[in-house]
Structure 1
């Protein structure tokens, strides 16, 4: 493992120095302060240190980081992020990283994390009055009600299929890692908005199944599903209930019990919606209601499990 220690925190470029270090294996699991001590010792032993001696206690290490959070973030900047003095070298610094030696005392992992948390809390508080752009590929935030900033975005959701990553509206521009995906250019320009297009109810992202459905067209019903739907007057919920009845039977729930509960739910829907028993909508509404009841029961079980554990 090699790292490049760079001291550039001085207006006088003659005082700058870069030190390439090949780390001994025993150093990799040690604290980053070893690197700082090594650099200071080397610097002070050279010509630069004769007129500009450094002290480890007054210096710290830092890595250059980018603030880019989206593919179209034109406001991205780079900044130096402190390396904790007690941070494990192999966990905080990558092979061949440029590590900058800067003035100012080092801080521990605990101190840096405390500062980050305080900053996150401040940002969270500030964002309570901000809206987020709903355009795909734009993560800008702005005051509720405007003004609305300029926006570069995509008209379709992202697609993550196997190793490929791309926007569904720009299928010919693909990336195969996250950094590359973040830099794919937008295809539209306009103004940010916080109003969703309810008529265009798109998924937030697509996968391989979505691509196959698009290529193959609508999924055909099985013979059993077709017959169940036809027997219930064309109800889309009928085949779902048939499958649920069968699966619950395999789990030990008697068919008679399932039928009894289903009939009760149907009667509730008939009364609530003023429907006739032979109306296909009764089965569809009963399917939705039964699904909600099952979901509620499963949530109650989950809560009880958490309470016990």
Structure 2
């Protein structure tokens, strides 16, 4: 079993040090504190230890843990390891471990701290109320005036990989953090009183198809033929037609939406300007392909 032990808890990068350690078999069933003491001894025996001696009693071991809701390695956080935890139970082969300042805690001490945090949150929840407006995360103390609120008019939609608020369908996100960052479209005061005709808390593909079906007006054959003769402009908006055609030639709807939303941000959410800019970019792409074809010939 091999591990990588790092000391980086110092603003002076010249004092950082990394070790690659092959653990003796007997260490696997021993406490993590043994590994910490070895790392400190190795550091102090080097030239770095002379100018920055470390004390195992004031340090603890930690490893990086990535939150379940995040896919980015940048979101990983250092989580302390208990000093009396068994190495093979909390450390995997080739794990990256970090020696951090702050005294180690035992399994019982960590458990007591976690329990205290749970009790604290329970108490906070018991003494406060939550806003029921869509997208608002405010809580306030019972019996006090509600705070100002920025919220959404209608429920969120989770359809395939896209996430957006049904009142703001032009602002789509594809990961949870970006979705939560979408600003509400309404302002007012928080409330904990639910409406009598309460809406669904979220919508899915079935709800979207149902809404589309209700919104579409049935056309006669004559209406359809007239629309086709007019180039289809009455049958569907230009972006809808373009999106459908792009999908037929292999450009996924999600990719189309992502690109167009990026253009909208640059044009200040002006739909007409964004549509024109998309046309300009597609034309440039086609010209680039034509130039490449000439080079090949």
Using the size of structure 1 for normalisation, the TM-score is 0.50
Aligned to 2:169: 171
Distance apart, 1:157 and its partner CA: 1.8
1:5-39 Cα distance to aligned partner (Å, 9 max, x none): 34436xx8478425375888x99999755663454
Q: 1:202 aligns with which of 199, 202, 214?
A: 199
Whole-Å separation in 2 of the counterparts to 1:217 and 1:162: 21
Aligned to 2:214: 217
Whole-Å separation in 2 of the counterparts to 1:34 and 1:53: 18
Q: 1:130 aligns with which of 114, 119, 128?
A: 128
Aligned to 1:118: 116
CA contact (8 A) 1:136 1:155 kept: yes
113-122 or 30-39, which deviates more = 30-39
CA shift in 2, pair 1:174/1:81, >3 Å:
same
Q: What are structure 2's unaligned runs of at least 5 residues?
A: 70-75, 216-297
Whole-Å separation in 1 of the counterparts to 2:183 and 2:98: 33
CA contact (8 A) 1:151 1:191 kept: yes
Aligned to 2:55: 55
CA shift in 2, pair 1:101/1:143, >3 Å:
same
Distance apart, 1:119 and its partner CA: 1.7
- SS state at 1:165 partner: strand
CA shift in 2, pair 1:149/1:54, >3 Å:
same
CA shift in 2, pair 1:14/1:210, >3 Å:
closer
Aligned to 1:17: 16
CA contact (8 A) 1:19 1:39 kept: no
Aligned 1:70-219 pairs, distance under 5 A: 81-85=79-83, 86=85, 99=98, 101-104=100-103, 106-182=104-180, 184-188=181-185, 190-199=187-196, 201-217=198-214
Whole-Å separation in 2 of the counterparts to 1:192 and 1:102: 44
Using the size of structure 2 for normalisation, the TM-score is 0.52
Distance apart, 1:206 and its partner CA: 1.5
CA RMSD of aligned residues (A): 4.3
Whole-Å separation in 2 of the counterparts to 1:161 and 1:28: 46
Whole-Å separation in 1 of the counterparts to 2:94 and 2:148: 39
Distance apart, 1:162 and its partner CA: 2.4
Structure with larger Rg? 1
CA shift in 2, pair 1:120/1:42, >3 Å:
same
Distance apart, 1:142 and its partner CA: 0.9
CA contact (8 A) 2:5 2:39 kept: no
Aligned to 1:276: none
- SS state at 2:101 partner: strand
Aligned 1:230-269 pairs, distance under 5 A: none
Distance apart, 1:169 and its partner CA: 2.2
91-100 or 201-210, which deviates more = 91-100
Q: What are structure 1's unaligned runs of at least 5 residues?
A: 70-77, 219-309
CA shift in 2, pair 1:212/1:20, >3 Å:
farther
Distance apart, 1:130 and its partner CA: 0.7
- SS state at 2:149 partner: strand
Aligned to 2:264: none
CA contact (8 A) 1:134 1:192 kept: no
